[in-house]
Amino acid sequence: MTDAGSTPPLALITGASRGLGATLAGLLAAEGWNLVLTARRIDGLATMVTSLARYETTIRALAGDVTDPVHRGTLRRVVDEMGGLDLLVNNASELGTSPLPSLIDYPLEDLETVYRTNVVAPLGLIQALRFSLQRKRGLVVNISSDAAIAGHPGWGGYGASKAALDLVSLTLAHELKDHGIAVVSVDPGDLRTALHQAAFPGQDISDRPLPDVTLPFWAWLLHQPKDSVSGQRFRAQGERWEIPA
């Protein structure tokens, strides 16, 4: 929560028009955060802004592709205009080829697209926003997946990109410690989202929980001292969350 009379914290969420990104945007708006929301489709963002209008908070919605350096530059300028960044959530993700192929048969051009979205774009956005994050001693959350560590057949392309993002997160946590920027990666677990449905075309995924199952985790994480969580990889649907002593 924000204190009366204080400047509200600012969060930038990618992939914010639906699924986990939209769920997190709702939580933060309810707690008084100002938001910069981005996604590829303007109609989804417009719906999000309408749904959050009941909260007394400032919301900027910018449609665009995070793989585009020009769009990342636009996001940086907006964040700077709003006074610096407290939280960056790199949530936008690319599943890749669907139905999911074996890694040995994975189309390499598709794999390059997956890496551009899931690894290069998050790093590029952190690079673009480094001084805005440093100004506010901000937190970066990179959204990972259990596919990063499980080696599930068919999930090799997506999983490898998320494993790379995990390493990017840990490395940046070490490199940016002295600059006051904390970095974590978060595996949200299986969720009933459009991305997960695309992984199982034509199948019923109604047994997966909706993204709001992760809300207790986010409420916990965002009230932890940033220095104490930096460098950690969390499972949002884990039974408990701990910070190593």
Question: Residue 149: left (phi > 0), alpha (psi -120 to 50), or beta?
Answer: alpha
Q: What whole-number distance in Å separates Cα of residue 144 and Cα of residue 130?
A: 21
Kindly provide the b/e burial profile for residues 53-62, where b requires at least 16 CB atoms within 10 angstroms of the residue's own CB: eebebebbbb
The closest of 113, 174, 172 to 142, measured between CA atoms, is 172
Task: Tally the residues of the chain.
Answer: 245
Active site amino acids: 158
> Which residues share a beta bridge with 161?
none
Q: What whole-number distance in Å separates Cα of residue 186 and Cα of residue 23?
A: 15
